[in-house]
Amino acid sequence: MLSRRDIEKELGKGINIVPVIRENFKENSINLSASRDAWTMGNGTVYWHGGDNFNCDNSKGSKRSITLSKGSSCIFTAYRTVQYIILLPHTTTLVETKEVLGVENNIGGALYSKVGIVSTGIGHIGTMLGPGYCGHLLIPLHNITDDVIALKVGATFVSVSFDYLSTPVIRTSSTVSGHLDKFSELGINIDKNTRTYLTADWKSNLDGIRERMCSEDSYKDYKHHIRRSTWKELQKYINKRNIIAILSVIILVGCLYLSAIKLDQGRPQPVWVDRFWNVGCSGIVGTLVIGLFNFIKDKK
């Protein structure tokens, strides 16, 4: 499994994501956000009572209602800028991620539920990220409760982790972004604008996603943040104690080399210099370098 540092090293190479949101990068995963492209696999009427309070009971009156049918969009606009994905009780809801992801053929992964999502009554997410995948990710959410669950559009709801493959996979077919090829058999009908958005040319190939990511300010800012963090980490090791230790090892190695040169003076063959390179570097010098590394590593 790749750590955060591994993921950051692969950004712009084996792992490409649009948009890059710094807060979504975790220790060994990236959190993905829910988009406004979501469809229910059930039927029902939901009543909104204000805020994020939704239910199927209108006995106490409600502000607004929304009737959902299988294959229809389940987005509810409560306010001008606040939208919710409505998850009917005991029903599966399909949600496209806001992010577009593209990985090389030697990288795969897995998607997991976030604790906050599971605690609301949404079943665990367990699906794979195939090597070479490009596009939005279609995530099935299962409301296993008797209540309506409302998920805010833009909220993070799933985490993706990454792994290296020992042998790269050779893809024989192109990826259909967001799994739109499965929509007809699921009874989902989408409008032309949504289809065009989800299947934009740049989202279906790694180079297109990489170019789009590298051109965005969010990626440039994150790379700057990584460089700044790396420099701050390096600064922890720059102190008087470590500098003296490094100089001492350099001086000691230099003295050993000069001694070998002096011992070889007058000899037809450079015996001691050869011993320095063949024996000293692999034995004495190697031991000194390892000892120096542990000395600095243990006591910053």
Q: Is the pLDDT of residue 285 over 70?
A: no
pLDDT of residue 111: 95
What would the pLDDT profile of 190-225 be if each residue is shown by its tens digit? 889 998 999 899 998 999 999 999 999 999 999 988
Structure tokens belonging to residue 23 = 């807060």
13 has pLDDT over 90: yes
Q: What is the mean pLDDT of residues 140-154?
A: 94
Compute the average pLDDT of residues 93-101: 96
Question: Mean pLDDT over residues 178-196, rounded?
Answer: 83
CA-CA distance, 2 to 160, in Å (whole number)? 11
pLDDT at residue 271 tops 90: no
pLDDT of residue 59: 73
Give the pLDDT score at 283.
65
Spatial separation of the C-alpha atoms in residues 43 and 22, rounded to whole Å: 37
Q: How large is the average pLDDT for residues 53-64?
A: 82
Top-tier CATH class for 4-215: mainly beta
Min mean pLDDT across 6-20, 130-144, 253-267 is at: 253-267
- Where does CATH 2.70.40.10 sit in the chain? 4-215
Q: What is the DSSP string of 64-97?
A: EEEEE-TTSB-EEESSSS-EEEEE-TTEEEEEEE
Report how far residue 78's alpha carbon sits from residue 220's, in angstroms, rounded to the nearest whole number.
34
What is the chain's alpha carbon radius of gyration, rounded to the nearest angstrom?
Answer: 28
Do strands 54-55 and 126-129 pair parallel, antiparallel, or not at all (unpaired)? unpaired
| E runs forming strands in the chain | 15-18, 30-40, 44-48, 54-55, 64-68, 75-77, 83-87, 91-103, 107-113, 126-129, 134-143, 149-152, 156-164
Q: What is the mean pLDDT of residues 91-113?
A: 95
d(CA 114, CA 124): 9
Q: Does the pLDDT at position 187 exceed 70?
A: yes
